[in-house]
Amino acid sequence: MNAPFPDGGKNGLRSTHDLAKAGLITPTEAKSLAALEAHYAVGISEAMAALIDPADPLDPIARQFVPDIREAERLPEERDDPIGDAAFSPVEGVVHRYPDRALLKLLHVCPVYCRFCFRRETVGPQGPSHLDAKALDAAFSYLAANREIWEVILTGGDPLMLSPRRLADILARLDAIGHIKILRLHSRVPSVDPGRVTQDIVDLLRASGKTVYLVLHANHPRELTPAARRACAAFIDGGIPMLSQSVLLRGVNDKVEILAELMRAFVEMRIKPYYLHHPDLAPGTSHFRLSISEGQALMRALRGRLSGLCQPAYVLDLPGGHGKSPVGPNYLSAGAEGAPLIVEDYRGQKHAYPQQADADTRLE
């Protein structure tokens, strides 16, 4: 094995007791969080713990990973399965919601446990760590039998938590399915635990036999440390294109200046901003959620000040398994029949644009 890139790779903080010893919560807070810890996993990598300022009660890194007693407050609209994975899971480990792509959920282990996670009821020590051999065989049989599946998205948990041996086996089995052309891995590892990124992992993905994309989840520019940037550069220099996804979180990135800095940082790292997710209706996460109108206002502000390279799609994953819908601001409104359309520019000024008849109307 190659030596890992520097600045990471240790166990980090894995309990409220660890958090109290590190000075991130008080012993009294640790006791009050005992019931919460029994239900939801606690985990902060060494790299992320090093970024937290214990003296700042509003620290945006701490807010993402340190348990909060407000997580015990469950609203009626919140759901254990907020985006409806279970309804579209034909076999264990597979979610097939869209015709041409499917999720392959290989494991339930993460390098950090985000307090807003939409899979918080299933990830962590409370669930099985990996798909067992029988479930894995059934998952690959399903993927092989459904020839409309063009893309497989490796998720979980975090697929880069797999050992190189297990990852190599997964990639080889996917390579044997000819109609699958694209592999996409969604991971936090390059930023939150960059020491796990080795040249072996890069080489495995490059030699997979498929076109591979890596999607990095990061929510605040401070997560993109020098070590994280080196880890991402290793993938990109190795021929693995990268995209980003972020979650819009109150108290973390709900200021246009922070979002702008984050999106520009991605682009400077050669990572294309892809999704900005509206937070899902996961249990105990209402303190993270903004209104959609607040999110739309932030997207309008980004449109007015950032390059098109820096613009993510603002999306809402609809409850009940109905998929993602763009919910960004609308800049177009129709006038009366035959009247010009009204288009709003990034400054908020409105302009007339001539309507054109539909093709079938012109042929009448």
Catalytic residues: 97-98, 101, 110, 114, 117, 119, 280, 317, 324
Strand order from edge to edge, sheet including 151-155: 94-98, 101-105, 151-155, 182-187, 211-217, 242-247, 271-277, 313-318, 323-326
313 exposure class (CB count in 10 Å sphere: 0-12, 13-18, 19+): middle
For residue 175, the surrounding DSSP H or E stretch is helix 164-175
Q: Which DSSP symbol is given to 222? A: G
Please tell me the distance from the alpha carbon of residue 252 to that of residue 298, in angstroms, as a whole number: 13
Please tell me the distance from the alpha carbon of residue 89 to that of residue 135, in angstroms, as a whole number: 12
Q: Which amino acid is at 89?
A: S
Helices (H), 217-291: 226-237, 256-268
**Is the bond preceding 84 in cis, omega lying within 30 degrees of 0?**
no
Please tell me the distance from the alpha carbon of residue 154 to that of residue 359, in angstroms, as a whole number: 42
* Cβ pair 159, 107 in contact under 8 A: yes
Q: Is 96 helix (H, G, I), strand (E, B) or coil?
A: strand
* Cβ pair 43, 124 in contact under 8 A: yes
Residues near 174 by beta carbon (within 8 Å), at least 6 away in sequence: 140, 143, 152, 180, 183, 208, 210
Pick from 116, 181, 170, 179: which is nearest to 144 by CA? 179
Retrieve residue 65's tokens: 């990973």
